[in-house]
Amino acid sequence: MSERKNDNIKCSFCGQTSKEVDSIIAGPNVYICNHCVMSSVDILRSNSAAFTSGVDKKKANRTPAELKKALDEYVIGQESAKRTLSVAVYNHYKRLESKQLFTDNDVEIEKSNIVLIGPTGTGKTLLAKTLARVLDVPFAIADATTLTESGYVGDDVESILVHLLQNAEYNVQRAEQGIIYIDEIDKIARKSENMSITRDVSGEGVQQALLKILEGSTVGVPPKGGRKHPEQPLININTKDILFICGGAFAGLEDIIQRRIGKNPVGFGSDMHTMTKAERQYIITHVEPEDLLRYGLIPELIGRLPVMSSLHPISREGLMNILSQPKNALVKQYVKLFEMENVELEFDHEALEAIVERALERGTGARALRSIMERSMMDIMYNLPSKEHVTRCFITRDTIETGAEPMYTVQEQKKTA
C-alpha cells in the first residue's frame, strides 16, 4: 500500500478528495483516508472490547436477578450468598465496562473481592464454579494450604495465576479478567493475635504475599508453572481486574462470634452457654470483619475482601432437593448413565431419604451425597452391563441400607418355534 497525492483520488468510504484530508492510503482499486482509518479503529475497539477482555458482553451484562436465577439452576438454598455474589459480580463487570467507556473519568470504581464463610459441603466452590460457567470467563481453583512464602518448599503465591492462564489457553487478556477461587483461606490464619518474631511461612507470610495479587499488580509468572528461574521467560499478568473469591470453613469462628454477641444484651443474650445447637449453626451469619481479625487474618487481607457472605449448614430438606432438583443433580446423572445402557433408573423416595440420613450422620454436607451414592450403586453398575434384557432398575431403601438387590424389570422375549 502507498500514499497517493493525486487530486482526482477520492476516499472510497467518505468520498473526500486528497485535498480535503491529510493523507489517503491506496489498495487494490480502493482508497481510504486517514479520517476513515481512525474511525475504523474506534469502531473495532468498541465492538471487540468485550472479546479482547475475555468477557462476553451479553453474558456480562446480566442483571443480578438474572445471575441469581442462573445460580438457582445449579445451587439449592443459600439465598443470601447467591444474592451477594450476584450483586458483587454484576458490579465487578460493570466496573470493567466503565473503564472501557470512560477512560478519562476521574472516578475509579475499585474491585470488590469476596470471602465466603461456611461449613464444608455447603456449596462455596460450586457457587464460584457456576458463576464462571454462567459468565463464560476463565476460572481457576487454588488451595491456600499448599502455598508458602517464596523460597520455601511448596507453591509460590504466583502459581495461582498459572492455573488461570492455562485455563484461558494462555490468552493473557482473557486471564486478566477471569475469576480465581482460593479455597481453605482459613488455614493460613495466624495461630495467635500476637505478631510472631519467627517466620510463619505457611500462615501469615502467605497472607502478606497474597496482598499484592488481591489488590492488583503486574506479576510475572512462569508459563508452565513451578518455581521462577532467572533463565526462564515470564508472562506478565495484571491482577487488577481479576475477581478473587476466597472460601473457608473457619472452624471455631462460632466461638469468637459467640463471645462478641454474648456481651450484648440484645440478640442471643449474655449467657453464652444457653445457645441451642441450631442457634450455634446459624451464628456464622452474624460474622463481622473484627471476628476474622481475631481468628487470625491480618487487617490488610480483610480490607481487600470487602464483600463477606456466610453459608449456613444444609438442612435435611435441602439435601433431598440437592439430590434431584438442580440441572446436574446426582439422581439425574445416574439416570443419564443408565440411559446409555438402555435401562430406566428410578429411585424410591425412601431410598433418597436413606441417602440423606447417612449424609447427615457424616456431617460433611452435600459432599457426602456422592460418596454414599457411589458406594450404593457400585455393585449395580458392575453387574448391569452383563445382564440381558433389563429395561428398568428400581432402587429401594434396602438397596441403600443393606446393599440388597434392586428391583429389575426384564423384557419378555418372544419364543421361537
Q: Which of 35-49, 140-154, 381-395 has the highest mean pLDDT?
A: 381-395
d(C-alpha 124, C-alpha 114), whole Å: 11
Query: Can you tell me the mean pLDDT for 208-230?
Result: 77
Amino acid 215: pLDDT:
84
The mean pLDDT of 379-402, rounded to a whole number, is 91
When pLDDT is cut at 50, 70 and 90, the band that residue 150 belongs to is low
Dihedral pair phi/psi, residue 295, rounded to 5°: -70, -30
- Phi, psi (rounded to 5 degrees) for 141: -110, 130
**pLDDT value of residue 191:** 61
Q: For residues 149 and 153, give the distance between their C-alpha atoms in angstroms, rounded to a whole number.
A: 8
Q: What is the mean pLDDT of the chain?
A: 81
Of the candidates 56, 59, 116, the residue with the CA atom closest to the CA atom of residue 83: 116
Confidence bin at 48 (pLDDT 50/70/90): very low
Tens digits of residue pLDDT in 193-218:
444 444 455 567 788 888 888 888 88
First to last CA, the chain: 85
* SS3 readout for the chain: CEECCCCCCECCCCCCECCCCCCEEEECCEEEEHHHHHHHHHHHHHHHHHHHCCCCHHHHCCCHHHHHHHHHCCCCCCHHHHHHHHHHHHHHHHHHHHHHHCCCCCCCCCCCCEEEECCCCCCHHHHHHHHHHHHCCCEEEEEHHHECCCCCCCECCCHHHHHHHHHCCCCHHHHCCCEEEEECHHHHCCCCCCCCCCCCCCCHHHHHHHHHHHHCCEEEECCCCCCCCCCCCCEEEECCCCEEEEEECCCCHHHHHHHHHHCCCCCCCCCHHHCCHHHHHHHHHHCCHHHHHHHCCCHHHHHCCCEEEECCCCCHHHHHHHHHCCCCCHHHHHHHHHHCCCCEEEECHHHHHHHHHHHHHHCCCCHHHHHHHHHHHHHHHHHHHHCCCEEEEEECHHHHHHCCCCEEEECCCCCCC
Residue 144 pLDDT grade (very low, low, confident, very high; cuts 50, 70, 90): confident
Residue-wise pLDDT tens digits, 328-371? 899 999 999 999 989 999 999 999 999 999 999 888 888 899 99
Sheet (strand 2-3) strand order = 2-3, 24-27, 30-33
CATH topology identical between 53-310 and 316-410: no
Query: Which CATH code of 1.20.1250.20, 1.10.8.60, 3.40.50.300, 2.30.110.10 fits the domain covering 316-410?
Result: 1.10.8.60
List of residues 6+ apart from 100 with CB closer than 8 A: 49, 53
The type of residue at 294 is R
- How large is the average pLDDT for residues 289-296? 91
Q: Residue 51 — pLDDT band, cuts 50, 70, 90?
A: very low
Burial 238-249 (b: 16+ CB within 10 A, else e): ebebbbbbbbbb
Residue appearing with cell numbers 469502531: 43
**Does 413 score more than 80 pLDDT?**
no
pLDDT recorded at residue 4: 44
pLDDT tens-digit profile of 161-201? 888 998 888 889 888 888 899 998 988 887 654 444 444 55
Mean pLDDT of 280-298: 86
- Centroid of chain to Cα 414: 54
Whether 391 and 409 have beta carbons less than 8 Å apart is answered as: yes
Determine the average pLDDT of the residues in 141-147: 84
Residue type, 336: K
pLDDT > 70 fraction of the chain, expressed in percent and rounded: 78
In this predicted structure, the answer to whether residue 276 has a pLDDT above a threshold of 70 is no
Q: What pLDDT was estimated at residue 377?
A: 92
- For Cα atoms 234, 238, 240, give the angle at the middle one, nearest 5 degrees: 160
> CA–CA separation, 300 vs 208, rounded Å?
8
**Cβ atoms of residues 293 and 299 within 8 Å:** yes
Q: How far is CA 326 from CA 49, 74, 77, 131, in A?
A: 34, 5, 11, 15
The CATH class for the domain spanning 53-310 reads alpha beta
Arithmetic mean of pLDDT, 50-75: 72
Determine the distance from the C-alpha atom of residue 349 to the mean position of all C-alpha atoms in its chain, rounded to a whole number.
Answer: 32
Average pLDDT over residues 285-294: 90
Binned at pLDDT 50, 70 and 90, residue 265 comes out as very low
In the chain, domain spans: 2-49, 53-310, 316-410
Give the model confidence (pLDDT) of 64-108 as tens digits: 999 999 999 888 888 989 999 999 888 888 887 776 555 555 667
The pLDDT tens digits for 301-331 are: 999 999 999 888 888 999 999 998 998 899 9
CA 410 to chain centre: 44
For 232-261, how does the pLDDT look when each residue is reduced to its tens digit (9 = 90+)? 678 889 998 899 999 998 988 888 888 888
Residue-level length of the chain: 417
Distance CA 78, CA 328 (A): 17
412 contact partners, CB below 8 Å, separation of at least 6: none
Model confidence band, residue 417 (pLDDT cutoffs 50, 70, 90): very low
